[in-house]
Amino acid sequence: MERKQMKKNLICINCPMGCELNVDYTAKKIIKVEGNTCKRGITYAETEIFHPVRIVTTTVRVKDCSIPFVPVKTEKPVPKKIAFKIIQRASKITLHAPVKSGDVVIQNIMDSGVNLIATRSLARTRQKSKKNT
Amino acid sequence: MNTQFDVVIIGAGVVGCAIARELSRFKLKIALVEKEADVSFGTSKANSGIIHAGFHSSSETVKGKLELAGNRMFDRLKEELDFPFQRRGELMVAFTEEEIRILQAFYLQGKNNNVPYLELIGRTRVLEMEPNLNPDILGALYAPNSGIICPYEYCYALAENAVRNGVKLFTNSKVIRLDTKTVKKRIKVITKNGLNLTGKFVINAAGLFADEISALVGITDFKIHPRKGEEYLLDKRVSSLVKRVIFPVPRKNSKGMLVIPTVDGTVMVGPTAVETKSKKDSSTTREGLQTVFRHAQHMVPAIRSTDVITAFAGIRPAATGEDFIIGATRVLGFINVAGIQSPGLTASPAIAEMVREILLKKGLPLKEDPSFDPIRKSVKRVRELIDKKNYAEFGKIIKSNKDFAKLVCRCENVTEAEIIAAVRNGHTTLDAIKFITRAGCGRCQGGFCTSRIMDIIARETGIPREQINKKGAGSEIIPFPVKKGDQSD
Amino acid sequence: MIKSVDALVIGAGPAGLAAALALRNSGVQNILVVERESVPGGILMQCIHNGFGLHRFKEELTGPEYAERYINAAGDENIIPLTNTAAIDIIDNGKTKIVILLSETKGLLEIKATVVILAMGCRERNRGNISIPGSRPAGIITAGLAQKMTNLHGLLPGKEIVILGSGDIGLIMARRLTWEGSHVKAVIEVQPYPGGLNRNIVQCLHDFNIPLYFSHTITKIDGDKRINKVHIAPIDTHFDPKKTGNFTLSCDCLLLSIGLIPENELSLKAGVALDPITRGASVDADLMTTIPGIFSCGNVLQVHDLVDFVSEEAEYCGKAAAEYIKGTNKKGKDIPVKTGNLVRYILPSKVKAGRSALLSLRAMTPAENVNLIIRTDKETLYKAKHRKIFPSIMLRIPIKEIPPLARYIEVLFEAE
């Protein structure tokens, strides 16, 4: 039985070129990708149609240093549909300085197989007074 | 807290503050009650900042009488209160023979009012004085005694000196009721935030709301009909366009749209004059921008709307009859000082003296207070030193206070020392700090300094950043803290 | 306290750090980098999103990660930026420059430098620049300031947000604020095309179903103490608001992402001439300004889209500045660079005969299927097909050698 053929226009987000892709596909596979400038566009089309993923970046509360929040990111792309859950999960923890860029903040976050890591190094400083936070 | 006063002044704009400062010379208990978060936050902050020459109104009007009287007092006030004031002079320019005739009429009126140094000058001399004016100008009325000031710095200086000399300032205190019956020979002043003051005299200097305050004691013989004026501030890089204030020949209810060099080195164009229904509508408009630039460019062709760095609008509290309404009323102790539109800023010190005389006549004893200190020193401003490359002097100031080495506003060269001083003087809104220190007034309009100013306010006062506001409660800059992790300190 | 250095770099953001490293790699020892913030890294420190470094490091990094690579590399070379130090004046003394610094800890400092590299970055365009009519309530904030407050202080500027301008900063903040729980109601763009990268339209707007209105503008702001509404109208070909198709959006925050302006106040003080189109310094092929010994690179020279290009430009600048210090900068005939069809600007505006050049340019409008051509009066130096060009994407073309006999270089786009 012939599977229903569908068309979609996507913009590849792999690099700043942002190629406009025309994708023909069925529920099970990609038939044709047009408009890409490199091979990564084809992989992107497949991923984006069937299991879209994103890198998630946010901030996490941190104590004992000069600023109250440290930026973090998922080490690899995670399923787009759990992005908000990851943000919420990250909002529950508090780190303590020192923090090194690359430190694992939450391992295998939300069972995605991906770690949430710090993206900035912060040295430990003296405890600041109430007024400064 | 003392709630019994000799005089309660309602409204801390330029008029209320001038009256408060004048009365603080005497052994009197004075309260200055203001509904906004800081002084000058009503009409005064949107003023054009011109000290008029004294020929604009006939001396048969109150405003005409007080214009020159006020003008004369500014040199001494500047000496005492340390605010920026420069006698730049003004030119009222004429393009047609008919306008020349109107100039002549103003000249005669000025002479009649005893305005000094007034001259009618011809085209050549006008263009020598101001080479960037439209060469089609036929002639001008030149008044060298006209000046420019920073209206809010003047207002703050008056208020600070008044408070230093014993006046009690109550902000965020909107008057909602006046009671002339309960206390004998006194008027009770009740505010929305629960103040309950009494005064032997109540001075109504409530600007746009003067008619509503007056109605609280049953006097309804005048109405305030607000008249909005939009102003556009141009970048400092065009500061050399004009040296003096440039006026057109005025129209019926307004002095016209002017080109105004400011004491800060910017140039301002405007204001428009549009009757508005609402006392609260200080919005700028597309039509206003086009009108202002059309008129300004007519006088100074090099002006471009692309030079605008910010725009604002003020609302003139014009009263029925268009003149000042200053005087005692049939209600014992209640004095109206209403309808103070232009030349209100110029006239303000003279208004204060006039009110003093009214109080004296009405039986308020005026005993000079020997501890009255007329001198108020403004916080050091380093931007002029930096502009003039006077690093030796700047270095000395830094040695006296290290906070002068911390640059907060890069556009206007304002340091942390100046902002700390403003905050410690009770100014904790971003607008007030902007008006006093000029931090946030420049090209980037607060893009870089806002964050640091908020740090300073938070550190000095303990106010959490999310509560720091622009102009009073309800105008918080960044009101929503994220809820993450351990939020305790 | 008078000190002397070979090179003084103003700004320890990605441009300043890369320039300093290039100076060191070219043998310059005595380098001082000054930074007015309390930490180096420049604007990257608040750009917690990823997308940086794809060209430079062949991997996607977040802003702070990219910055840290350069901060660490500089540290390895013993280049430690002097932080909390603002440069407030540059005085040109011919062979040396005198830079007046205001250090929060050390007070006023006077530094003599053979070379000064301007790397101060940009400021944001604000409401005043475009005169949006209406009241002046709280709740109107530029996207960059909001980004700083959200990412470094954990404070959100609003719960119901409208964004004016589809530049990258606004798009990134649309996503950021949505992820932090705010509702971004719309992005309003005055042009018929986006101001930022396509990929950001996808991952910041499409992902969250945030509508983007092209060829619309905000005609009025309502609200007394705080903004409560914006009036939106479509615009005609003259960019004037139309009378029909207007609507309003209630909101408690208007985010402005309407462009960046190179921050050249200090450059003007030094007497450096600015280019009216880039609003950065007017420079030659060595990225040297009209004042010999003062160089410029990064966002303060021209607004960049990719930090990778900032680093490349800064390295080029640092190398050229090093040659100037050593006296080995080759003199040569100046050859003017002309903008041709569809080219908004080219930097630099002149190149040197016989030397290499790194040209940066932007298209004037979007176009499809065009050839980018770089030619002299005698020959074509470069020709490349472009399927799509956008004003928002800067193009960089290195030219190995400018033919010594060329009378001018012309850069243009030609339809295929």
Kindly state whether residues C353 and C244 are assigned to the same domain. Answer: no
- The reported pLDDT for the residue numbered A19 is 86
**Exposure of A130 by Cβ count < 10 A (0-12 exposed, 13-18 middle, 19+ buried)?**
exposed
B52, B56, B295, B427: the catalytic one is B52
**Pair C55, C115 in one domain:** yes
Nearest CA in chain C to B400: C107
**Same domain, residue pair B339 and B310:** no
Residue B219 and residue B247 in one domain? no
Looking at the complex, does the CB of residue C147 fall below 8 Å from at least one CB of chain B? no
Per-residue pLDDT of A48-92, as tens digits, reads 999 999 999 999 999 999 999 999 999 999 999 999 999 999 999
pLDDT at residue number C1: 53
* Pair B205, B337 in one domain: yes
Q: Are residues C147 and C92 in the same domain?
A: no
| Mean pLDDT score, B159-177 | 97
Does any domain span residue B473? no
Q: How confident is the model at residue C356 (pLDDT cuts 50, 70, 90)?
A: confident
**What percent of chain B stands above pLDDT 90?**
90
From chain A, pick out residues whose CB is under 8 angstroms from the CB of B462: 130-131
Q: Which chains touch B (3 or more CB pairs under 8 A)?
A: A, C
pLDDT tier at A2 (50, 70, 90 boundaries)? low
What ipTM was predicted for this assembly? 0.92
Residues of chain B found within 8 Å of residue C221, distances taken between Cβ atoms:
283
- Smallest Cα distance from C263 to chain B, Å: 9
Q: What is the pLDDT of residues C306-328, one digit of tens each?
A: 999 999 999 999 999 999 999 98
Same domain, C311 and C390: no
A131 has a pLDDT exceeding 50: no
Q: Are residues B127 and B230 in the same domain?
A: yes
Q: Convert the pLDDT of each residue in C264-296 to its tens digit.
A: 999 999 999 999 999 999 999 999 999 999 999
Mean pLDDT for the stretch of residues C369-374: 95
Per-residue pLDDT band for C329 (boundaries 50, 70, 90) equals confident
The boundaries of the domain holding residue C410 are 332-416
Which domain-ending residue is among C329, C359, C388?
A: C329
Last residue of a domain, one of C229, C258, C287: C258
Residue B433 amino acid letter? I
Do residues C315 and C410 share a domain?
Answer: no
**Does the distance separating the beta carbons of A92 and B485 come in below 8 Å?**
yes
pLDDT exceeds cutoff 90 at B255:
no
Q: Are residues C339 and C382 in the same domain?
A: yes
> Do A131 and B485 make contact, defined as CB atoms within 8 angstroms?
no
So what's the pLDDT on residue A130? 44
Q: Is C138 on the interface with B (CB under 8 A)?
A: yes
Q: What is the pTM of this model?
A: 0.94
Contact status of C83 with chain A (Cβ, < 8 Å): no
**Residue C126: Cβ-neighbour burial (10 angstroms; 0-12, 13-18, 19+):** buried
Are C57 and C7 in the same domain?
A: yes
Q: Compare CB distances from A60 to B485, B487, B489 and report the shortest one's residue.
A: B485
Do C254 and C268 lie in one domain? The reply is no
The C-alpha of A52 sits at a distance from chain B's nearest C-alpha, in angstroms, of 27
Q: Across residues B153-168, what is the average pLDDT?
A: 97
Residue contact A119–C38, C-beta within 8 A: no
Interchain pair C133, B289: CB under 8 A: yes
Query: C138 and C251 share a domain?
Result: yes
B309 shares its domain with B440: no
B403 is in which domain, residue-wise?
383-467
Cα C408 to Cα B79, C341, C375, C399, distances in angstroms: 62, 16, 8, 14
Q: CA-to-CA distance for B377 and C283, rounded, in angstroms? A: 46
Work out whether strand B168-170 and strand B274-275 pair parallel, antiparallel, or are unpaired. unpaired
Number of structural domains chain C divides into:
3
User: In this structure, what DSSP letter does residue B14 have?
Assistant: H
Tokens of A129: 């007074």
B219 and B230 belong to one structural domain: no
Same domain, C207 and C350: no
Residues B219 and B229 occupy one common structural domain? no
Instruction: Decide if pLDDT at B489 tops 80.
Output: no
Q: Is B52 a catalytic residue?
A: yes
Concatenate the DSSP letters of all residues of B388-415 into one string.
TT-HHHHHHHHHH-GGGG-EEETTTTEE
C190 in contact with B at a CB cutoff of 8 Å? no
pLDDT in tens, C156-205: 999 999 999 999 999 999 999 999 999 999 999 999 999 998 889 999 99
Residues B134 and B231 occupy one common structural domain: yes
Walk me through the domains of chain A, giving residue ranges and CATH numbers.
6-50 (2.20.25), 57-132 (3.10.530.10)
Same structural domain for residues C239 and C363?
Answer: no
pLDDT tens per residue, range B3-59: 999 999 999 999 999 999 999 999 999 999 999 999 999 999 999 999 999 999 999
Mean pLDDT value of segment B235-258: 87
- Please name the member of B484, B485, B489 whose beta carbon is closest to the beta carbon of A133: B489
Give tens-digit pLDDT for B263-309: 988 999 999 999 999 999 999 999 999 999 999 999 999 998 888 98
> How do residues B346-366 score in pLDDT, each as one tens digit?
999 999 999 999 999 999 999
B415 and B273: one domain?
no
If asked whether residues B188 and B248 sit together in one domain, one would say no
Mean pLDDT of B321-341: 96
| B295 domain-assigned | yes
Average pLDDT over residues C243-262: 96
Q: Is residue B101 part of a domain?
A: yes
User: What per-residue confidence (pLDDT) applies to B443?
Assistant: 83
Of the three residues C294, C329, C364, the one that is the final residue of a domain is C329
C201 and C282 in a single domain? The answer is: no
Contacts of A60 in chain B (CB under 8 A): 484-485
Looking up residue B241, the CATH number of its domain turns out to be 3.30.9.10
Give how far B467 is from chain A: nearest CA, Å.
Answer: 13
Mean pLDDT of B206-222: 97
Q: What is the pLDDT of residue A132?
A: 43
Average pLDDT over residues B385-408: 95
User: CATH number, domain at B391?
Assistant: 1.10.10.1100
Instruction: Kindly report the number of other CB atoms within 10 A of residue B269's CB atom.
Output: 27
Is A101 in CB contact (< 8 Å) with chain B? Answer: no
pLDDT at B253 exceeding the cut of 80: no
Statement to judge: residues B205 and B330 lie in one domain: yes
Which residue among B462, B484, B486 sits closest to A131, beta carbon to beta carbon?
A: B462
| Contact status, residue C135 vs residue B282, Cβ threshold 8 Å | yes
- Distance (Å) from the alpha carbon of B463 to chain A's nearest alpha carbon: 8
pLDDT of A5 over the 50 cut: yes
Give yes or no: residues B133 and B280 share one domain: yes
Gyration radius (Cα) of chain A, Å: 20
Pick the more confident residue, B1 or B218: B218
Contacts of B264 (CB under 8 A, 6+ apart): B84, B150, B236, B412, B438, B441
Which residue of chain A is at minimal alpha-carbon distance from B458? A131
- Give domain status of residue B136, yes or no: yes
Q: What CATH number is attached to the domain comprising B214?
A: 3.50.50.60
- Residue C212 sits in a domain whose CATH number is 3.50.50.60
Domains of chain B: total: 3
